[in-house]
Amino acid sequence: MSETPPGGKAFGAITGVNIRAGATAWPEPLEMQGQTIPSLHNLDIFKHLLGPNYEQILATRDMHPDYPEQVVGLSQRQWTHVVGTPPNHSEEHSVDLGVKAVQALFAQTGLGPEDVGLLLFASTTPHKITSASSCAVGAATGIKAPSLDLKAGCSTGLYALVTAALYVQAGLGPVLLVAAETPSKYANPQIPETVMGVGDGAIALWLEKGSPEQGLLGGYLGADGELGVLVNTPGLLPPTAEALEQKQYYYHGDASSLKEAVPVRYLAAMQGALAQAGLTPSDLDLYVPHQVNRQLTRKVAELLGIPLEKQFHNLDRHGSVAGAAVLIALWEAMQAGQIQPGARVGLNTVGGGLTWGGLVWQF
């Protein structure tokens, strides 16, 4: 690895914390081009954005229709909003998805609002400028407990997991961690490559006191605000007519500079977390990176020395669900039986801000 980027800090164990339960939630089937579509495939999006001659248009951009799946790992995703159409406040938003995830968790576990010690809502796409989205989730689900929001780009879920673990350890648990995202509302329809990547969804995780060996064995978090321009929505709030006209509330970025900045931060974060835990990559039972680009994260895993059979990817099913992606992937790996009691799992993200992080969690 090259020189460790500035802005990062390693930290020690936060143990005695157990991820007891979880539940995901997805948008209602989308109405698009006269059809009801539960999951959008790559060709659905190409046809929607580029029309029936999409193959010829893609050829002028040196892109083949199979590129998103074969190279990036994208196949399906779920949206609350048809990219390229005007905003519609009747559409589901991040709080709606979060509420569905909480309700599913309660239904599956028998837990209820009275059992919540603290409600933590994590999202880069909140439904309002002011007011805590966590409180809106609480109002819809009957939760009356301390509540707060957290936002850290696509590292939001990872930062939130650390925060939740600290609250559990401090005695404010159980913590209901809800991560919900709707990036389809901010994707630029003029950049199909970006549109293909985004997916909407939510995850609710229940964290409570566990055995002494359970929880975070070591972590590493980093941020560098000077690199925030590499991927962001530049428009200030409240919106102005001029900013809307200039499409400043769509995702913008510098793809070439981002490609240079991201890999070293994935590596620094994961290596820093492992070192803090006194472990090596070979000690991990599973590696769960941010779900954004399979080619990128597989390359990072290769540089870390983590074989393919120890990696978990669900990008092909959901697209990149922004700050919720890593937690959704973690829960799906647990549901698939790929994480057993005692397993050590590496979590790894880089997101807008820039933010980055690595965690080693023992189950």
| CA separation for the pair 351, 105 (Å, rounded) | 27
E-assigned strand segments in the chain: 8-11, 14-15, 17-25, 30-32, 35-37, 40-41, 76-77, 118-122, 147-150, 175-181, 201-209, 215-223, 231-232, 252-253, 286-289, 344-351, 355-362
| CA separation for the pair 325, 153 (Å, rounded) | 11
Through-space distance between the first and last CA atoms of the chain, rounded to whole angstroms? 29
Residue 190 lies in a domain: no
| Confidence at residue 246, expressed as pLDDT on a 0 to 100 scale | 95
Residue 246 lies in a domain: yes
Residue 242 lies in a domain: yes
Q: Are the beta carbons of 216 and 359 closer than 8 angstroms?
A: yes
| CA separation for the pair 103, 217 (Å, rounded) | 31
What CATH number is given to the structural domain containing 257?
3.40.47.10
Q: Which tokens in the block code for residue 290?
A: 């941010």
Write out the residue range of the structural domain in which residue 320 sits: 8-14+214-362
Number of domains in the chain: 1
Residue 196 lies in a domain: no
| Confidence at residue 34, expressed as pLDDT on a 0 to 100 scale | 86
Residue 225 lies in a domain: yes
| Confidence at residue 1, expressed as pLDDT on a 0 to 100 scale | 45
**pLDDT tens, N- to C-terminus, the chain (363 residues):** 456 888 899 999 999 999 999 999 999 999 988 899 999 999 999 999 999 999 999 999 888 899 999 999 999 999 999 999 999 999 999 999 999 999 999 999 999 999 999 999 999 999 999 899 999 999 999 999 999 999 999 999 999 999 999 999 999 999 999 999 999 999 999 888 889 999 999 999 999 999 999 999 999 999 999 999 999 999 999 999 999 999 999 999 888 899 999 999 999 999 999 999 999 999 999 999 999 999 999 999 999 999 999 999 999 999 999 999 999 999 999 999 999 999 999 999 999 999 999 999 999
Residue 105 lies in a domain: no
Residue 352 lies in a domain: yes
| CA separation for the pair 325, 181 (Å, rounded) | 9
Residue 36 lies in a domain: no
Rounded to two decimals, what is the model's pTM?
A: 0.96
Q: Are the beta carbons of 178 and 324 closer than 8 angstroms?
A: no
